[in-house]
Copies of this chain bind each other. A is one copy, B any other.
Amino acid sequence: MFKRGTEKVKDAAKPAGERTRELIFERALELFRVRGFEETTMRDIARAAKVATGATYYYFPSKEAIVSAYYDRVQSLHAARVQEELSGKEGLRARLGMVMHTKLEILQNDRMFLGALFRYTGEPGHQLSVFGKGAEAQRKQSTELFRQALDGSEVSEELKQFLPWVLWLAHLGIILFFIHDESESQAKTRKLVDGVLDLLTTLLEFTNSTLVRPFVKPLERRLLGMLREAGWAEER
Protein backbone atom coordinates (compact mmCIF):
# COMPACT_ATOMS: atom_id res chain seq x y z
CA MET A 1 0.00 0.00 0.00
CA PHE A 2 2.62 2.58 -0.98
CA LYS A 3 2.01 5.85 -2.72
CA ARG A 4 3.92 6.12 -5.97
CA GLY A 5 7.64 6.53 -5.31
CA THR A 6 8.32 10.25 -4.90
CA GLU A 7 7.12 10.58 -1.35
CA LYS A 8 8.29 13.39 0.92
CA VAL A 9 9.14 12.62 4.51
CA LYS A 10 7.24 15.59 5.87
CA ASP A 11 3.49 15.03 5.62
CA ALA A 12 4.31 11.96 3.66
CA ALA A 13 0.80 10.89 2.81
CA LYS A 14 -0.42 14.28 1.71
CA PRO A 15 0.54 16.09 -1.49
CA ALA A 16 0.69 19.89 -1.26
CA GLY A 17 -2.66 20.27 -2.97
CA GLU A 18 -4.37 18.19 -0.36
CA ARG A 19 -2.98 20.39 2.40
CA THR A 20 -4.19 23.55 0.71
CA ARG A 21 -7.59 22.04 0.29
CA GLU A 22 -7.82 21.18 3.96
CA LEU A 23 -6.60 24.59 4.97
CA ILE A 24 -9.28 26.30 2.93
CA PHE A 25 -11.85 23.84 4.22
CA GLU A 26 -11.07 24.35 7.89
CA ARG A 27 -10.86 28.12 7.64
CA ALA A 28 -14.18 28.19 5.82
CA LEU A 29 -15.92 26.16 8.50
CA GLU A 30 -14.52 28.42 11.21
CA LEU A 31 -15.90 31.44 9.44
CA PHE A 32 -19.26 29.79 8.83
CA ARG A 33 -19.53 28.99 12.51
CA VAL A 34 -18.69 32.47 13.67
CA ARG A 35 -20.35 34.60 11.03
CA GLY A 36 -22.79 32.32 9.30
CA PHE A 37 -22.88 31.03 5.77
CA GLU A 38 -24.46 33.97 4.00
CA GLU A 39 -22.27 36.55 5.68
CA THR A 40 -19.05 34.76 4.84
CA THR A 41 -17.73 35.54 1.38
CA MET A 42 -15.42 33.46 -0.75
CA ARG A 43 -12.96 36.32 -0.51
CA ASP A 44 -13.08 36.10 3.29
CA ILE A 45 -12.36 32.41 3.10
CA ALA A 46 -9.49 32.87 0.69
CA ARG A 47 -8.01 35.64 2.82
CA ALA A 48 -8.28 33.56 5.99
CA ALA A 49 -6.52 30.66 4.27
CA LYS A 50 -3.97 33.02 2.74
CA VAL A 51 -4.69 31.99 -0.84
CA ALA A 52 -6.29 33.72 -3.81
CA THR A 53 -10.01 33.42 -4.43
CA GLY A 54 -9.22 31.44 -7.55
CA ALA A 55 -7.52 28.80 -5.43
CA THR A 56 -10.66 28.38 -3.38
CA TYR A 57 -12.65 27.78 -6.55
CA TYR A 58 -10.00 25.38 -7.74
CA TYR A 59 -10.85 23.09 -4.83
CA PHE A 60 -14.52 23.89 -4.31
CA PRO A 61 -16.71 24.70 -7.31
CA SER A 62 -19.04 26.82 -5.17
CA LYS A 63 -19.57 28.05 -1.66
CA GLU A 64 -22.29 25.46 -1.11
CA ALA A 65 -19.82 22.78 -2.20
CA ILE A 66 -17.83 23.51 0.94
CA VAL A 67 -20.87 22.79 3.08
CA SER A 68 -21.44 19.69 1.00
CA ALA A 69 -17.88 18.54 1.72
CA TYR A 70 -18.54 19.26 5.37
CA TYR A 71 -21.58 17.02 5.19
CA ASP A 72 -19.48 14.26 3.65
CA ARG A 73 -17.30 14.42 6.70
CA VAL A 74 -20.35 14.41 8.95
CA GLN A 75 -21.53 11.24 7.26
CA SER A 76 -18.24 9.49 7.71
CA LEU A 77 -17.97 10.57 11.35
CA HIS A 78 -21.51 9.37 11.86
CA ALA A 79 -20.87 6.03 10.16
CA ALA A 80 -17.82 5.42 12.36
CA ARG A 81 -19.73 6.38 15.47
CA VAL A 82 -22.62 4.08 14.56
CA GLN A 83 -20.37 1.10 13.80
CA GLU A 84 -18.74 1.59 17.13
CA GLU A 85 -21.85 1.85 19.26
CA LEU A 86 -24.16 -0.47 17.38
CA SER A 87 -22.41 -3.72 18.21
CA GLY A 88 -23.21 -3.73 21.89
CA LYS A 89 -26.65 -2.21 21.55
CA GLU A 90 -29.74 -4.39 21.84
CA GLY A 91 -33.31 -3.53 20.96
CA LEU A 92 -34.67 -1.65 18.00
CA ARG A 93 -35.73 1.42 19.95
CA ALA A 94 -32.30 1.92 21.48
CA ARG A 95 -30.47 1.26 18.22
CA LEU A 96 -32.51 3.73 16.22
CA GLY A 97 -32.31 6.27 18.99
CA MET A 98 -28.55 6.02 18.99
CA VAL A 99 -28.36 6.55 15.23
CA MET A 100 -30.55 9.64 15.35
CA HIS A 101 -29.06 11.23 18.44
CA THR A 102 -25.43 10.74 17.45
CA LYS A 103 -26.23 12.44 14.16
CA LEU A 104 -27.65 15.43 16.00
CA GLU A 105 -24.64 15.53 18.31
CA ILE A 106 -22.32 15.76 15.35
CA LEU A 107 -24.36 18.57 13.83
CA GLN A 108 -25.00 20.40 17.10
CA ASN A 109 -22.57 23.29 16.67
CA ASP A 110 -23.17 23.83 13.00
CA ARG A 111 -26.87 24.49 12.80
CA MET A 112 -26.12 28.01 11.61
CA PHE A 113 -24.95 26.98 8.18
CA LEU A 114 -26.71 23.66 7.67
CA GLY A 115 -29.48 25.46 5.82
CA ALA A 116 -27.17 25.70 2.81
CA LEU A 117 -27.57 21.95 2.37
CA PHE A 118 -31.23 22.42 1.54
CA ARG A 119 -30.82 25.27 -0.89
CA TYR A 120 -31.16 23.16 -4.01
CA THR A 121 -33.73 20.68 -2.73
CA GLY A 122 -36.24 21.87 -5.30
CA GLU A 123 -33.87 21.83 -8.26
CA PRO A 124 -33.66 18.32 -9.74
CA GLY A 125 -30.78 18.94 -12.08
CA HIS A 126 -28.51 20.59 -9.56
CA GLN A 127 -25.39 18.80 -8.43
CA LEU A 128 -26.10 19.61 -4.80
CA SER A 129 -29.79 18.76 -4.64
CA VAL A 130 -30.51 16.44 -1.71
CA PHE A 131 -32.76 14.33 -3.92
CA GLY A 132 -30.66 14.62 -7.05
CA LYS A 133 -28.15 12.44 -8.79
CA GLY A 134 -25.20 14.07 -7.07
CA ALA A 135 -26.27 12.98 -3.60
CA GLU A 136 -27.07 9.40 -4.53
CA ALA A 137 -23.99 7.93 -2.87
CA GLN A 138 -24.64 9.92 0.30
CA ARG A 139 -28.26 8.77 0.40
CA LYS A 140 -27.20 5.19 -0.01
CA GLN A 141 -24.61 5.40 2.72
CA SER A 142 -27.06 7.04 5.08
CA THR A 143 -29.93 4.61 4.49
CA GLU A 144 -27.44 1.81 5.01
CA LEU A 145 -26.92 2.99 8.59
CA PHE A 146 -30.61 2.71 9.28
CA ARG A 147 -30.68 -0.69 7.65
CA GLN A 148 -27.97 -1.84 10.02
CA ALA A 149 -29.90 -0.49 12.98
CA LEU A 150 -32.80 -2.71 11.94
CA ASP A 151 -30.62 -5.81 11.90
CA GLY A 152 -31.65 -8.43 14.40
CA SER A 153 -35.04 -6.91 15.10
CA GLU A 154 -38.33 -8.57 14.31
CA VAL A 155 -39.43 -6.55 11.37
CA SER A 156 -41.27 -8.04 8.41
CA GLU A 157 -39.52 -8.51 5.09
CA GLU A 158 -41.76 -5.92 3.48
CA LEU A 159 -40.90 -3.28 6.04
CA LYS A 160 -37.22 -4.03 5.85
CA GLN A 161 -37.29 -3.09 2.22
CA PHE A 162 -38.51 0.45 2.67
CA LEU A 163 -38.15 1.32 6.35
CA PRO A 164 -34.51 2.43 5.94
CA TRP A 165 -35.54 4.80 3.21
CA VAL A 166 -38.47 6.16 5.22
CA LEU A 167 -36.19 6.61 8.22
CA TRP A 168 -33.68 8.48 6.11
CA LEU A 169 -36.44 10.77 4.89
CA ALA A 170 -37.70 11.28 8.43
CA HIS A 171 -34.18 12.03 9.57
CA LEU A 172 -33.93 14.77 6.93
CA GLY A 173 -37.13 16.26 8.30
CA ILE A 174 -35.69 16.10 11.79
CA ILE A 175 -32.58 17.94 10.69
CA LEU A 176 -34.79 20.65 9.23
CA PHE A 177 -36.70 20.85 12.49
CA PHE A 178 -33.37 20.93 14.33
CA ILE A 179 -32.24 23.92 12.28
CA HIS A 180 -35.41 25.80 13.12
CA ASP A 181 -35.41 24.75 16.75
CA GLU A 182 -34.47 27.64 19.03
CA SER A 183 -35.16 25.84 22.31
CA GLU A 184 -32.33 25.42 24.81
CA SER A 185 -29.80 22.92 23.39
CA GLN A 186 -32.50 22.00 20.87
CA ALA A 187 -34.29 20.01 23.53
CA LYS A 188 -37.50 20.11 21.48
CA THR A 189 -35.84 18.22 18.66
CA ARG A 190 -34.54 15.59 21.07
CA LYS A 191 -38.03 15.15 22.46
CA LEU A 192 -39.47 14.91 18.99
CA VAL A 193 -36.99 12.21 18.03
CA ASP A 194 -37.82 10.22 21.13
CA GLY A 195 -41.54 10.69 20.61
CA VAL A 196 -41.40 9.59 17.01
CA LEU A 197 -39.32 6.53 17.83
CA ASP A 198 -41.51 5.55 20.77
CA LEU A 199 -44.52 5.76 18.55
CA LEU A 200 -42.84 3.89 15.75
CA THR A 201 -41.77 0.98 17.93
CA THR A 202 -45.20 0.82 19.54
CA LEU A 203 -46.74 0.67 16.09
CA LEU A 204 -44.32 -1.99 14.91
CA GLU A 205 -45.13 -4.16 17.91
CA PHE A 206 -48.80 -3.57 17.30
CA THR A 207 -48.55 -4.63 13.66
CA ASN A 208 -46.70 -7.75 14.70
CA SER A 209 -49.39 -8.86 17.15
CA THR A 210 -51.38 -11.85 15.95
CA LEU A 211 -54.56 -9.85 16.42
CA VAL A 212 -54.01 -7.42 13.58
CA ARG A 213 -51.22 -9.04 11.61
CA PRO A 214 -53.50 -10.58 8.96
CA PHE A 215 -54.97 -7.17 8.34
CA VAL A 216 -51.71 -5.26 8.37
CA LYS A 217 -49.76 -7.57 6.09
CA PRO A 218 -51.59 -6.62 2.86
CA LEU A 219 -51.28 -2.97 3.83
CA GLU A 220 -47.53 -3.32 4.06
CA ARG A 221 -47.57 -4.97 0.65
CA ARG A 222 -49.53 -2.08 -0.82
CA LEU A 223 -47.25 0.46 0.76
CA LEU A 224 -44.19 -1.33 -0.56
CA GLY A 225 -45.67 -1.50 -4.05
CA MET A 226 -46.49 2.18 -3.91
CA LEU A 227 -43.06 3.23 -2.81
CA ARG A 228 -41.46 1.05 -5.45
CA GLU A 229 -43.52 2.66 -8.17
CA ALA A 230 -42.45 6.01 -6.83
CA GLY A 231 -38.88 4.86 -7.32
CA TRP A 232 -38.01 4.30 -3.66
CA ALA A 233 -37.42 1.33 -1.43
CA GLU A 234 -34.39 0.45 -3.48
CA GLU A 235 -32.12 3.05 -4.92
CA ARG A 236 -32.23 1.58 -8.45
Q: Say whether, besides A131-B176, A195-B226, A222-B199, A188 and B118 are in contact (CB < 8 Å).
A: no
Interface string of A175-205 (1 = CB under 8 A from B): 0110110100000100110011011001100
Q: Is the interface of A mostly helix, strand, loop or mixed?
A: helix
In the bound complex, what is the Cα–Cα distance between A198 and B131 (angstroms)? Answer: 25
State whether B223 touches A199 (Cβ < 8 A): yes
User: Complex: how many Å from CA A223 to CA B219?
Assistant: 21
- Is A9 on the interface with B (CB-CB < 8 A)? no
How distant is A38 from chain B, measured CB to nearest CB, in Å? 8
Instruction: For the complex, give the distance between the alpha carbons of A219 and B198 in Å.
Output: 10
Q: How far is the CB of A120 from chain B (nearest CB, A)?
A: 8
**Could you say which of A68-76, A88-96, A109-117 contacts chain B?**
A109-117
Q: Return 14 A-B CB contacts under 8 Å, by A number.
A: A114-B122, A115-B121, A116-B122, A118-B118, A122-B176, A122-B179, A131-B180, A188-B229, A191-B229, A192-B226, A195-B222, A198-B222, A199-B219, A199-B226
